[in-house]
Amino acid sequence: MIKKYLTFTVKAFQRTLTYRFELWMELLINVLFMLVYVYLWKALYTGRTSVEGYDLNGILTYIVVSQTLLTFTFTLRIARIIEEKVRTGEVVTDLMKPIDFQLMTLATAAGTSSHTALFNMLPKFLLFYGAFGLSLPPSLLTLSLFIMSVVLGYVILFSIEFIIGIFAFWLVEIRGLYAFVIWGLAMLFSGYFLPLEFYPTFLAKVAAVLPFRAIIYFPTAIYTGQFIGEHLVTALLIQLAWVGALVGIGRLGYRAAFRKLVIQGG
Amino acid sequence: MPIITVEHLSKHFKVYKRRTGFWGNLSSTFSREHDIIKAVDNVNFTLERGELVGYIGANGAGKSTTIKMLTGILVPTSGHIDVMGLMPYRHRKENTRRIGVVFGQRTQLWWDLPVIDSFELLKHIYEIPQNLYKQNLEFFSELLQLQPFLSTPVRRLSLGQRMRCDLTAALLHNPEILYLDEPTIGLDVVAKEQVRQFLRQVNAERQVTVILTTHDLNDVEKVCQRLIIIDSGKIIYNGAIDALKKRYGKTRLLIVDLAQAYSDIQLEGVDLTRRDGNRIWLAFDRDTTSASEVIAQLTARYEIQDLTISEPEIEEIVRRIYELGMH
């Protein structure tokens, strides 16, 4: 049962190797963006020692970790893949297999993203870590909790994209919705641009009721040691709750979508 | 007991009318009129295990809609379908385990992966035991000569090669029924013949029940034992191909080029089936009327430039059934 889906992960991992050029380009652009951000923050911190609890080293670590995690956001493409499947009718082929669509999509995404993590995110992070003398997580336990939080954040991002993708069954075109949620809401509230502590109160309040901060801000804050003890556990529990809720919504969504397709015809 | 039973099966689609122009668009937004299209209209048939049946009809006749309902990805508006004791749309997953499906226009293989990787994936999806998988893969590779391109990515295969791989993909898990929706579309003559021979062999050696839709009546003539013809959602013929030929094959066809377009053509014992400018198609029963009689009548009354006699092929028979309906 698990093996069935793991095969999708392995195949997706292999498939990513086919598009090496694209991967190198993404890596290059992303490294340049990170450099700009790092130098921007260095400049902003001239003459300051600490802002909102972040010293220069702390903020640089935050920026590099969050920028690295952001890579998932622009390499996942799950919404687009589902839209494409609906548009071309390929989704019918999936329906004709004894397989769970959501799990299959997640397994496939995990394959692509493992590849991204290993050959894009890790080298990129190590490069900046070495070049700017960043910090590591305070302990091995924090490191493992950070990784756990990254995985949970990833599933949240996946679920949001999955839900957007499901809208393709009703809307002809989801690019607008995708841009609004992923490039708008998620960028604003995930905390990739700057730590959410820096946000004005009302924006921070909005961020607190949305799932996006659980994608990047939570794991990054765990890494940098902003979240410790009770705070850290709460963050993980909030992530778990969002995973449950969003996976559930995605499931209901695709059931309704398939029912529509199956009753009305494609 | 039949493997497939279809009773009073109907599928109606609502098609919304769109009015044109600004006000038309605006009013469409608030109230939408619709037409009901009866894609499948009170269809009944049964298939016995091991049968090889051709399901044919013109574009939009309801072929694919029927196949989609049989495979469980479309819910009937009314009527009943029983496939191996299952209701396909209600037991979709269970049903998919026991059927194989090939759409000629679409592949179920993974575009970027080598063919063999797609087969591996299917092995896991259908949870095919390793020894059965190996045995089947060997069998089909041999029969369809897949060996030379097993490690080629699907996107680089020719259409004929891809179809051979898709046929294998649909059969790896030993399905009891194989649904084929236009499996020979776009293939050249050699590739078509390969697919036909393969289907005959799979049907004979593995007792797979095969139902195939096609536009190419050669497929039907060379592969199927039985023919179901659907037109405008209704079944208009269901029976052996030989019987169809016997019943309609008595008719011969005379194609005549007249010197001018006569407004009124009257001949005894002859049906004027088609007319295109100066060319007319005349059908007559070979048991009661001879060709020379018809030609004699023609030359006596009209000026003729050219004529040919044709024996009806299945294609012509079916075309006539589409055009005239069953008599």
Considering the domain architecture, whether residues B141 and B280 belong to the same structural domain is answered as no
pLDDT in tens, B118-129: 999 999 999 999
Based on its alpha-carbon atoms, the radius of gyration of chain B, rounded to whole angstroms, reads 24
Indicate the residue of A3, A90, A98 with minimum beta-carbon distance to B97: A98
Q: Does some domain include residue B123?
A: yes
Considering the domain architecture, whether residues B216 and B159 belong to the same structural domain is answered as yes
Indicate the residue of B13, B103, B107 with minimum beta-carbon distance to A265: B13
* B residues 97-116 lying closer than 8 A (beta carbon) to A: 97, 101, 103, 106-108, 110, 112-113
> Cβ contacts of residue B27 below 8 Å, gap of 6+?
B19
Give dist(CA A6, CA A185) in Å, integer: 32
Other beta carbons within 10 angstroms of residue A94's beta carbon come to 16
Considering the domain architecture, whether residues B84 and B224 belong to the same structural domain is answered as yes
Contacts of residues B59-62 at CB distance under 8 Å and 24 or more positions apart, as own/partner, are B59/B215, B61/B230, B61/B231, B61/B232, B61/B233, B62/B11, B62/B230, B62/B232, B62/B233
For an interface test with A, which of B11, B40, B66, B74 has the most A Cβ atoms less than 10 Å from its Cβ? Answer: B74
Q: Flag the least confident range among A108-122, A128-142, A204-218, B9-23.
A: B9-23
Mean pLDDT of B7-22: 80
Mean pLDDT of B212-217: 84
* B residues 55-74 lying closer than 8 A (beta carbon) to A: 65, 68, 71, 73-74
Residue A49 has what pLDDT?
Answer: 86
Considering the domain architecture, whether residues B154 and B295 belong to the same structural domain is answered as no
Rounded to a whole number of angstroms, the distance from the CA of B228 to the nearest CA of chain A is: 23
- At B299, list the tokens: 């030359």
Q: Does some domain include residue B290?
A: yes
pLDDT in tens, A115-130: 999 989 999 999 999 9
Of B219, B245, B271, the residue at which a domain comes to its end is: B245
Considering the domain architecture, whether residues B128 and B254 belong to the same structural domain is answered as no
**Nearest Cα residue to B53 out of B65, B45, B44:** B45
* B residues 249-288 lying closer than 8 A (beta carbon) to A: none
Q: Flag the least confident range among A210-224, B235-249, B313-327.
A: B313-327
Instruction: Report chain B's mean pLDDT, rounded to a whole number.
Output: 87
Considering the domain architecture, whether residues B83 and B108 belong to the same structural domain is answered as yes
- At A243, list the tokens: 């995973």
B92 CB within 8 Å of a chain A CB: yes
Residue B314 has what pLDDT?
Answer: 66
Considering the domain architecture, whether residues B228 and B281 belong to the same structural domain is answered as no
pLDDT in tens, B63-88: 889 999 999 888 899 999 999 999 99
Indicate the residue of A4, A8, A98 with minimum beta-carbon distance to B93: A98
SS3 content of chain A, % helix, strand, coil (to 5): 80, 0, 20
Considering the domain architecture, whether residues B129 and B266 belong to the same structural domain is answered as no
Q: Does some domain include residue B44?
A: yes
Which residue does chain A place closest to B125, by CA atoms? A4
A95 vs B106: CB contact, 8 Å cut-off? Answer: no
Q: Does some domain include residue B93?
A: yes
Question: Residue B219 is part of a domain; what is its CATH number?
Answer: 3.40.50.300
Q: Residue A159 has what DSSP assignment?
A: H
Which residue does chain B place closest to A262, by CA atoms? B74
B36 CB within 8 Å of a chain A CB: no
Q: Does some domain include residue B327?
A: no
Other beta carbons within 10 angstroms of residue B217's beta carbon come to 19
Do the beta carbons of residue B220 and residue B263 sit within 8 Å? no
Tally of domains within chain B: 2
Rounded to a whole number of angstroms, the distance from the CA of A55 to the nearest CA of chain B is: 47
Q: Does some domain include residue B325?
A: no
Residue B1 has what pLDDT?
Answer: 84
Instruction: Report chain A's mean pLDDT, rounded to a whole number.
Output: 91
A18 vs B93: CB contact, 8 Å cut-off? Answer: no
Do the beta carbons of residue A156 and residue A242 sit within 8 Å? yes
For an interface test with A, which of B112, B126, B162 has the most A Cβ atoms less than 10 Å from its Cβ? Answer: B112
Mean pLDDT of A76-94: 88
**Nearest Cα residue to B61 out of B317, B238, B236, B312:** B236
> Cβ contacts of residue A178 below 8 Å, gap of 6+?
A79, A80, A161, A164
Question: Does residue B309 or residue B46 have the better pLDDT?
Answer: B46
Q: Does some domain include residue B24?
A: yes
Q: Does some domain include residue B132?
A: yes
Considering the domain architecture, whether residues B33 and B49 belong to the same structural domain is answered as yes
Give dist(CA A233, CA A254) in Å, integer: 32
Q: Does residue B296 surpass a pLDDT of 90?
A: no
Considering the domain architecture, whether residues B140 and B283 belong to the same structural domain is answered as no
pLDDT in tens, A226-236: 898 999 999 99
A99 vs B74: CB contact, 8 Å cut-off? Answer: no
CB pairs under 8 A between A and B: 65
pLDDT in tens, B235-262: 988 998 888 777 776 777 888 888 888 8
User: What residues are paired with B52 via a beta bridge?
Assistant: B210
Alpha helices, H only, B34-156? 63-71, 92-97, 115-125, 130-144
Considering the domain architecture, whether residues B139 and B173 belong to the same structural domain is answered as yes
Q: Which domain holds residue B215?
A: 4-245
A84, burial (CB in 10 Å: exposed 0-12, middle 13-18, buried 19+): middle
Considering the domain architecture, whether residues B238 and B261 belong to the same structural domain is answered as no
Tally of domains within chain A: 1
Residue A266 has what pLDDT?
Answer: 46
In the numeric block, the tokens 């765990």 are attached to A222
